[in-house]
Amino acid sequence: MNSVSTCIEDETKFIIPAKIDLNVDIRSALIIDDEEIVCSLIGESLEQSELNVLAICSRSPEIGYELCKKYSFDLLVCDISMPKIKGNTIGNL
């Protein structure tokens, strides 16, 4: 069973947890939502999978956008209606 890493961004800093290595060839999922409870529920649902799960709970979803540009994810779960950037913009990368 894999674990879920949740990052809560506070508009001033963002750190990917050490247990998530996005540079290795392991199946991974990215959850992007501006509501922490949604990230937690989806992350817990995916916890039984073979995916490394990174959940980004943020009022600044641009972080998720930048991660999608830099890394390849096997699964993206993204809120469509978020402040500053829409989920379909992230999904179209």
Query: Which residues constitute the domain of residue 75?
Result: 4-91
Query: pLDDT tens digit string along 30-85?
Result: 888 888 888 888 888 887 777 788 887 776 677 777 888 888 888 888 888 777 77
pLDDT of residue 92: 67
Is residue 17's pLDDT more than 60?
Answer: no
CATH no. for residue 17? 3.40.50.2300
Q: How many domains is the chain partitioned into structurally?
A: 1
One-character DSSP codes across 16-50: --TT--TTSSS-EEEEEES-HHHHHHHHHHHTTSS
0.85 surpassed by pTM = no
